[in-house]
Structure 1
């Protein structure tokens, strides 16, 4: 069963997983890139020519299980995360804004200026 379709520029990465048989398959533009069997997930590695044809992209797809029994998928290209599951420690969330904290939220400006506290948020 396909559990993920991830467009990457003009390419398509697909992850197929069967929780019953443990079979995992990774497809890149419809071609089988990696396959294996596991109970709790595994890492898949494959390489692809770059779109310009002058290099090679290295992909890593990590399939795992969440604590509630769901399937998690993380996708990396050249060690840069393209898709992170909840178990992957990648975040841009300011820890001061997490639930349970009494700090005020920030207003983020898209022009790259420093975030400022949003005093009107709780009005």
Structure 2
């Protein structure tokens, strides 16, 4: 990798640059409630900025997923949290359910779950 210009120090410099770009993009979009994370080959520092496409994951702030069995009593009611149930499902698949009925549900999550039986009973 060193001969191709992809040595460890170059890859780390690229990762740092993408992380800084994510930070600037997140600060610019802070009022929208997202955190930006560069993923894929750019997130690993394998490609420079003008090669290939850019994969950016936008994580909604105040939304959290926890595994089934985790004590969620201390999670604030302003945070939308979902419980991941991996039992009885194929590898890599799970069922999501809302953590509490009386919690705040982020509008994006509400729209995504609009036809879900769990929300339609409210």
Question: Which structure: greater strand fraction?
Answer: 1
TM-score with structure 2 setting the length = 0.24
Report the TM-score when normalising by structure 1: 0.24
